[in-house]
Amino acid sequence: MISIKSDYEISLMKKAGNIVYKTHQYLKPYVKAGITTKELDKLAYDFILSQDATPSFLNYDGFPGTICTSINDEVVHGIPSNRKLKNGDIVKLDIGACYKGYHGDSAWSYAVGKVDDKIKYLMEHTEKALFVGLNEVKPGAHIGDIGAAIEEYANAHNLGVVRELVGHGIGNNVHEDPDVPNYGKRGTGPVLKEGMCIAVEPMLNLGTHKIYILDDDWTIITRDGLPSAHYEHSVVVTKDGYQILTGDDNFE
Ligand code: MG
Ligand code: MG
Q: Write out pLDDT tens, residues 15-39.
A: 999 999 999 999 999 999 999 999 9
Cα 203 from Cα 200, distance rounded (Å): 10
Residue 128 within any structural domain of the chain: yes
Is residue 250 a part of any domain in this protein? no
**168 C-alpha to ligand 2 centroid (Å):** 6
Tell me whether residue 15 is in a domain. yes
| CATH number where 37 lies | 3.90.230.10
Work out the pLDDT band at 249, boundaries 50, 70, 90.
Answer: low
- Residue 249 lies inside a defined structural domain of this protein: no
**Which ligand ends up closest to the CA of 92?**
1
Taking alpha carbons only, the member of 198, 196, 169, 166 closest to residue 183 is 166
Q: Tens digits of per-residue pLDDT, 130-176? A: 999 999 999 999 999 999 999 999 999 999 999 999 999 999 999 99
Could you tell me if residue 179 is inside a domain?
yes
DSSP letters spanning 8-63: HHHHHHHHHHHHHHHHHHHHGGG-STT-BHHHHHHHHHHHHHHTT-EESSTTGGG-
Cα of 188 from ligand 1 centre, angstroms: 24
Q: Do residues 193 and 4 make contact, with C-beta atoms less than 8 angstroms apart?
A: yes
- Residues 143, 221: Cα–Cα separation, whole Å: 26
pTM: 0.97
Which domain, by its residues, includes 223?
Answer: 7-244
Query: From ligand 2's centre to the CA of 166, what distance in Å?
Result: 8
